[in-house]
Structure 1
């Protein structure tokens, strides 16, 4: 097992079956956002799904446990995260279903890394902070993960639309303050917002996360889902969150 780890890395149990994840805290560790997105998305049986900005592959790994998708692809620009993701696939014996591509998402279809219109589902947990906003972390890996330094929201939504089949599903996790931008860009790319859920840390806090489901060339009709609360009064995960760790 030690041969899979490099300096500063650790192996974590992620709470989905026996799945484990190699992470390097100095670079970046996944958060609740990835879990929320992976458990919000509905992936068809024998469907093909791609995760844009996959990091070390946490979302494809969770989907391998929760769904019967035939193929799960992650796309990651950072070489170190990509390489760690490859080892995560090997660690969990998922090479027959899960793969990761090391490239800029803006070049995916242009360079024919993936074929347009070939996926049933696209997911993305992109950087939340616009290119010029927020305090940038000195560590490059964390900066790229949190800030739009290599690709912006428009790039992620455009590429998602290109990769999806007609009536395919796009699932996004982001911040509520970008909702107008998200909906505007989605419609511009013929991704119709269909379901929206707001997530709050607890029942007394304002939402700090949104989950959005769009359908390519779908009819206009947006449904607001019941809000989700992460922690209860004692600071423990709510029942709604715990249920998300159960396999569908």
Structure 2
């Protein structure tokens, strides 16, 4: 029988003052095969991360990196599909600590490694050595926002404060080997910027998939995979529709999100 995910609470120091923190949760990721440690006051994973881990092709990969890893949802889910060693790069120390606990809870110490790193500084990394790089970057340019979330951790995760789209793509292009793959999840309205930025960094977009909340609604998530030094030519795959008219998960989306869907080569 599975152990029920636990919660714990405590306090941490902020500005010299002891601040009571929200409870740390242990939640099951979709499919109930992985447990993730997270805190609602700092950061919790979103559907986007799981979809990225389900979408990216992992065949043949021996070494992978996940950028802007947050609490590690992408590598945790991706580890179900590949035996590749996965390096999870995250800027925020508290998120790294949560990821480290998730790695231990799931007995993934030999496969997933968390690294507290600013992806704008990759000194010391073996560049061009990764078969696969994934990234769920901040979506919103600060200049386009009328206001940003006052929670610093959530601000860094959602807004381009310490990591722009170009920063993320540049890092992915530097880490991935020639003919290796780089996959991103982002917002559809940024598609033009994404393609232009990828091509500038010699990442050629090859696969594109839009995710719609309902069949009659505009897409609100995009998934894109590029090949380093690849030839031009991109395939737009059938869209993923999250909910049917009754508000239930569509059968196709349920297969993708909870069971992994078809296995991409």
- The CA distance in 2 between the partners of 1:59 and 1:186, in whole Å, is 21
Report if the CA contact (8 A) 2:202-2:229 is conserved.
Answer: yes
Match of 1:43 in 2: 58
Given the superposition, is the C-alpha separation of residues 4 and 44 from structure 1 closer, same or farther in structure 2, using an over 3 Å criterion?
farther
Offset of residue 131 of structure 1 = 2.3
Match of 1:211 in 2: 223
TM-score when scaled to structure 1?
0.94
Offset of residue 15 of structure 1 = 2.4
Report if the CA contact (8 A) 1:43-1:69 is conserved.
Answer: no
Match of 1:11 in 2: 26
The root-mean-square deviation of aligned C-alpha atoms, in Å, is 1.7
Report if the CA contact (8 A) 1:23-1:29 is conserved.
Answer: yes
Offset of residue 197 of structure 1 = 1.0
Match of 1:126 in 2: 137
Return the structure number with greater strand share: 2
- The CA distance in 2 between the partners of 1:205 and 1:3, in whole Å, is 37
Q: Secondary structure at the match of 2:107?
A: coil
Q: Does 1:101 align with 2:115?
A: yes
- The CA distance in 2 between the partners of 1:159 and 1:123, in whole Å, is 11
Report the count of equivalent residues.
244
Offset of residue 25 of structure 1 = 0.7
- The CA distance in 1 between the partners of 2:172 and 2:93, in whole Å, is 22
Match of 1:231 in 2: 243
Match of 2:16 in 1: none
Offset of residue 227 of structure 1 = 1.2
User: Which has more radius of gyration?
Assistant: 2
Counterpart pick for 1:30 among 45, 68, 76? 45
Report if the CA contact (8 A) 1:16-1:62 is conserved.
Answer: no
- The CA distance in 2 between the partners of 1:58 and 1:163, in whole Å, is 20
Map 1:116-195 to 2 at 5 A: 116-134=127-145, 135-195=147-207
- The CA distance in 2 between the partners of 1:15 and 1:225, in whole Å, is 23
Unaligned runs of 5+ in 1: none
Offset of residue 5 of structure 1 = 4.1
Report if the CA contact (8 A) 1:4-1:87 is conserved.
Answer: no
Report if the CA contact (8 A) 2:58-2:132 is conserved.
Answer: yes
TM-score when scaled to structure 2?
0.88
Report if the CA contact (8 A) 1:197-1:226 is conserved.
Answer: yes
Q: Secondary structure at the match of 1:107?
A: coil
